Amino acid sequence: MARTRPARAAGPVPAPGIGRLLAGWGFEAIVVAVGALVVAVLLRTFVAQLFIIPSVSMENTLKVDDRVVVSKFGGFTRGDVVVFVDPGGWLPEKPRTTDPLRLTLEFVGVLPDSSNEHLIKRVIGMPGDHVRRGDDGRIEVNGTPLDEGGYLYENDGVRVAPARVAFDVVVPAGHIFVMGDHRDNSDDSRCKLGRDDPQAAFVPVDLVVGAAVAIVTPFDRMTTFRVPDTFADVPAPTAAAPAVGELLHPEPGC
Q: Assess contact for 38 and 46: CB atoms under 8 A.
A: no
C-alpha 74, offset from chain centre? 13
C-alpha 150, offset from chain centre? 21
Catalytic residue (choose from 57, 71, 186, 189): 57
Catalytic residue (choose from 121, 186, 189, 192): 121
Peptide bond into 218 cis (omega under 30): yes
Active site residue 57: yes
Give 179's strand partners. 122
Q: How far apart are CA 33 and CA 30, in angstroms?
A: 5
Torsion sign across C-alpha atoms 199, 203, 204, 207: positive
- Beta strand pairing call for 223-224 and 158-159: unpaired
**Four-point Cα dihedral 177, 117, 221, 181, nearest 10:** -30
* Helices and strands (H and E) in the chain: how many: 3, 15
Query: What residues are labeled active site?
Result: 57, 121
